Amino acid sequence: MQLGYCTNVHPGMTLDELVAQLDLHAVEVRSHLDLDMLPVGLWLPARLVESVDAGDLGSRLADRGLDVFTLNAFPYGDFHGKRVKKDVYAPDWSTPERVGYTLGCARILTSLRGSRTSAGLSTLPLGWGADMDAGRLEAACTNLLELVESLADLESETGCRIHVDLEPEPGCALGTMDDLVTCFEERLLGQGRDELVRRHLGACVDLCHAAVMFEDLEIILARLQTLGIPIGKVQVSNAIEVDFDSMDETRRREAAGVLATFDEPRWMHQVVIRRDGELKFYEDLGDALKEEQVGCWRVHFHVPVNVPTLGSIGTTRERLIQDLRLLSTKGDVENWEVETYAWDALPEDRRASTLARSIADELNWTREQLAGKVDP
């Protein structure tokens, strides 16, 4: 088992910008943790994947004591633009651009992993739900089935097995882990490529996303095991939670005011409200805030994993602890990646004084929750 952090927290569209960010932050994280080599989950935008020399990139990373153990191939373009929102889900899996980008990432990852025989990268859950009609869903799954053939060829060429792990996210075509399992059952397995599907496709479990959707992961794990679909990566992430029904009127107004400060313009912050056993979905926090503040709200905002409260509002940290322990005892998950990418979108009074120190604290906290099962 390896534990690292995802570099999609750092902006950078060119190699020089990427390296500058790693010098500023990742090298300092490694120093805080007193490690010779720091595992990192690397994010590379498409324009960099098209132009970078993998050997040069690998040398620069090794010189800095950084070991790439996984890639995040979800965001295709500028993940730190002024307004990303639904653009993060484009191009979707029905397009040749998504296929090409993913294969480019896979080739780079085989180079960075050297003699090691397997590695994984995470990808988007087909596309944004409202955009994925029946034709695009069929095309997306066809592309994934053709992808496994290409990854098998890559393994024959390099000796490294790359697995692409689909990451469910609220509002997407695969909005839940349950949707992902159903997709394997109905669209990806039984198409004549089952051995390759199980070898080169898997699940990426983002614990913020699962919490927002109020999922029962124990049931999902059993279904995945039955199908023989591996969990390629767990993204350790924490969501906002506010139980308005447990508050008096004064506390409710205060919590609503604090929650409104998280309504920022860059990324999607989907909301699910549970009340009387029913779930109601909102595409973005601003939409939900127009409604009456009742029920238990969970918000897709990646807040620090070791933080139980944010002033008068809470987080899903207790749920995160339970899920980490469940996942660490069931299955053979090798890759664990802290993915708090929204540090600079937090309200100013909640931002880290030093990003490297905060990331190091998150990694230490996560290692403690995994009870020593992770390599240092």
Give the DSSP letter string of 150-217. HHHHHHHHHS-EEEEEE---TTBTT-SHHHHHHHIIIIITTSS-HHHHHHHEEEEEEHHHHHHTT--H
| 16 within 8 A of 22, measured Cβ to Cβ | no
The continuous run of DSSP H or E covering 301 comes out as strand 296-303
Q: Is 187 contained in some domain?
A: yes
Beta 271-275 vs 296-303: how paired, if at all?
antiparallel
User: Is the Cα torsion angle 59, 62, 68, 71 positive or negative in sign?
Assistant: negative
Q: In terms of residue numbers, what domain contains 226?
A: 2-237+316-369
Q: Of 89, 329, 123, 347, which is closest to residue 235 (Cα–Cα)?
A: 123
For residue 212, give the CATH number of its domain.
3.20.20.150
Q: Is 306 contained in some domain?
A: no
* pLDDT tens per residue, range 232-266: 999 999 999 999 999 999 999 999 999 999 999 99
Q: How confident is the model at residue 331 (pLDDT cuts 50, 70, 90)?
A: low
Residue 133 has pLDDT above 90, yes or no: yes
Q: Is 325 contained in some domain?
A: yes
Q: Per the structure block, which two tokens stand in for 23?
A: 């010098």
Residue 291 has pLDDT above 70, yes or no: yes
| 332 within 8 A of 225, measured Cβ to Cβ | no
Euclidean distance between CA atoms 192 and 187, whole angstroms: 11
pLDDT at 338: 98
| 184 within 8 A of 191, measured Cβ to Cβ | no
Q: Is 246 contained in some domain?
A: no
**Range of lowest pLDDT (211-215, 220-224, 326-330):** 326-330
* pLDDT tens per residue, range 189-206: 999 999 999 999 999 999
Q: Is 257 contained in some domain?
A: no
| 122 within 8 A of 233, measured Cβ to Cβ | yes
* Residue, of 352 and 316, whose pLDDT is higher: 316
State the pTM of this model: 0.96
Q: Is 251 contained in some domain?
A: no
pLDDT at 374: 61
Q: What is the dihedral of CA 103, 105, 110, 111, to 10 degrees?
A: 120
Residue 370 has pLDDT above 60, yes or no: yes
Q: How far apart are the first and last CA of the chain?
A: 9
pLDDT cut 70: percent of the chain above it = 98
Q: Is 311 contained in some domain?
A: no
pLDDT cut 90: percent of the chain above it = 93
For the chain, the average pLDDT equals 95
Q: Is 354 contained in some domain?
A: yes
pLDDT at 376: 43
Domain tally, the chain? 1
* pLDDT tens per residue, range 73-86: 999 999 999 999 99
pLDDT at 373: 61
